[in-house]
Structure 1
Amino acid sequence: MPHWRAILAYDGTPYHGWQVQPGLITVQGTLAEALLALTGETVLPQGSGRTDTGVHALGQVVSFPLNAKIPASNLLFALNRVLPPSIRVLSVAEAAPGFHARHSAVRKTYEYRILPRITALETICPPFLAPYVWASPRALSLDLLNEAAAHVVGTHDFSSFAAVNPDQAHRNASPVLPKENTRTLFASYWVQDPGPEGLLRYRVTGSGFLHHMVRNLVGTFVEAGSERLPASQIPAILAARDRSAAGPTAPARGLFLHEVEY
């Protein structure tokens, strides 16, 4: 049975995340429906990561088997004809034996986009950008953002930046987060685009990421970038291993799965 590897880009706005959920429209479910319509085969495509509701992808890698004998170029064309415009298949190729989009991945890169304040009173976000950026609530210093972001490079326990299990939080005012929250970040930095919008982009590459980890990092860095939290406090937040020590969770709409490496 041929095994396929595809790269997808999608606008996460209309979807309840990647993973199939009963009664909800998801990216995985929509792709599975497209494959069923084209081949008559029921398969569950495996993604490199389970993006949340409203999170986008520029390079989501997907693997799936098919019995149908179809050339890669034909499959690419047919999928893009059947899928909605919010999901595009960028490439399709036959995968190497044993390849799995999630288990075979060694590094992932995410990007988070912030529209900085462009007036003294508020951030005016153009409607065509609104689903894809966080309009900054406060003025931000690029230098302070980078000072904060540099502290998380390396291998750390990221419990302070992991989503808390709501059931556990209900039972215990100071929930103990699950073990095995150690991850390695190879790069963590901010850049600002030239031009009138001047988007701030946070780029982070790691061996893996905990649930909401990137959004929690961004929310904390924004606290530092707006001088509401000393950037030098990030190591202490990491050491606390307590979600309540870190800043708020940034909105999902600014987050993109950028690239997956194998």
Structure 2
Amino acid sequence: MPDSQFQTDTAAHTFRLTLAYDGTDYFGWQIQPELRTIQGTLARVLRETIGEEALPQGSGRTDTGVHAVGQTASLTLKADIPADRLHRALNRRLPSAIRILTCEAVPEDFHARANVLNKTYEYRIFPRRTPGSREENICLPHVARYAWDCRWPLQLEPMQQAAAALIGTHDFSSFAARDPDRKRRAEESGEPLNNIRTIFASEWLHKDDLFVYRVTGTGFLHHMVRNIVGTCVEIGSGRIPSDSIPAILAAKKRDAAGATAPPQGLHMMQVIYRNDRPNTEEASA
């Protein structure tokens, strides 16, 4: 039963949530009939806790099996409830795979998809084999849920060269999967699809026995990060030259780039909004 202490109000109350979740057992962020999703689970718990039909709006959609450390969502309620009580009440009812890290009251016009300055993602690879060796490392089960257990020997240096070539403003059509929902929204609005994005940082790191790709940009197209990673893996395994990125970008065709990396290695790390920092020029440098 909903908590009877949460009184309704004539004014709307808007909240900003920061979420972490293990996406392994969920069919992505966006609510879908008969499927367990992050957004759908949040809506159900809100209904059970507050007694309101409210649909949290995320800063972006994560796909089936993708995780988050810093997803942002906006939520508007009629219930007159302090942010700290809402935070505790939701975490008590949410499954352990989903946690609200922060909850704060924000102006009514805040929306998680508006005024995003940049987003940061990480993709984690467990390198099963070392170049030049026939031995295979064992990817432990608790790592395999959150990283790609890649069977090909990879050279990190050419992957880093490829990642650096992505920094700047480019048309990322070659790294974009088909997105029927986005196409439909563009047709309804009468605006052409825009696949131009700006990448501020793009690098590969060797960290805790993993190869980690970290990328920050203004926004990301459907499967864009996973397609970049898949291309970098083909470069690291020697199947694509390390200087191919400019030509792949120029082609503006999906088949010019590499295959799509599996979802479990992808983690949404952080979303920064224009009002989060006093100097937006520094933030985008």
TM-score (norm 2): 0.84
Aligned to 2:138: 124
Q: What percent identity do the matched residue pairs reach?
A: 57
Task: Determine if contact 1:111/1:256 at 8 Å carries over to the other structure.
Answer: yes
Shift of 1:143: 1.1
Aligned to 1:210: 221
Aligned to 1:51: 62
Find out whether 1:146 has 2:157 as its counterpart: no
Aligned to 2:91: 80
Aligned to 1:243: 254
Task: Determine if contact 1:19/1:27 at 8 Å carries over to the other structure.
Answer: yes
Shift of 1:123: 4.4
Aligned length: 248
TM-score (norm 1): 0.91
Matches within 5 A, 1:24-43: 24-43=35-54
Find out whether 1:115 has 2:126 as its counterpart: yes
Task: Determine if contact 1:123/1:136 at 8 Å carries over to the other structure.
Answer: no
Task: Determine if contact 1:164/1:243 at 8 Å carries over to the other structure.
Answer: no
Aligned to 2:105: 94
Separation (CA, whole Å) in 1 of partners of 2:266 and 2:137: 19
Runs of 4+ in 1 over 3 A off after TM superposition: none
| Structure 1, unpaired ranges of 5+ | 167-177
1:148 aligned partner, one-letter code: A
1:258 aligned partner, one-letter code: M
Separation (CA, whole Å) in 1 of partners of 2:68 and 2:204: 19
Q: Secondary structure at the match of 2:116?
A: coil
Cα distance, 1:179–1:74 mapped onto 2, change above 3 Å: closer
Shift of 1:227: 1.4
Separation (CA, whole Å) in 2 of partners of 1:186 and 1:108: 10
Separation (CA, whole Å) in 2 of partners of 1:79 and 1:64: 13
| Structure 2, unpaired ranges of 5+ | 1-11, 181-191, 274-285
1:135 aligned partner, one-letter code: D
Separation (CA, whole Å) in 1 of partners of 2:52 and 2:228: 41
Find out whether 1:200 has 2:211 as its counterpart: yes
Task: Determine if contact 1:16/1:53 at 8 Å carries over to the other structure.
Answer: yes
Q: Secondary structure at the match of 2:260?
A: coil
Find out whether 1:23 has 2:37 as its counterpart: no
Task: Determine if contact 1:191/1:202 at 8 Å carries over to the other structure.
Answer: yes
Separation (CA, whole Å) in 2 of partners of 1:97 and 1:104: 14
Per-residue CA deviation, residues 73-120 of structure 1 (Å, 9 max, x unaligned), is 111111110000000000100012411011221210000000012562
Separation (CA, whole Å) in 1 of partners of 2:197 and 2:104: 30
Cα distance, 1:165–1:100 mapped onto 2, change above 3 Å: closer
Aligned to 1:137: 151
Tell me the C-alpha RMSD between the 2 structures.
Answer: 1.4
1:45 aligned partner, one-letter code: P
Separation (CA, whole Å) in 1 of partners of 2:213 and 2:109: 33
Separation (CA, whole Å) in 2 of partners of 1:96 and 1:150: 38
Aligned to 1:257: 268
2:169 aligned partner, one-letter code: T
Q: Secondary structure at the match of 2:178?
A: coil
Separation (CA, whole Å) in 2 of partners of 1:117 and 1:228: 18
2:41 aligned partner, one-letter code: T
Query: Relative to structure 2, which stretch is displaced further, 136-145 or 148-157?
Result: 136-145
Q: Paired residue for 2:231, among 220, 227, 243?
A: 220
Cα distance, 1:179–1:63 mapped onto 2, change above 3 Å: closer
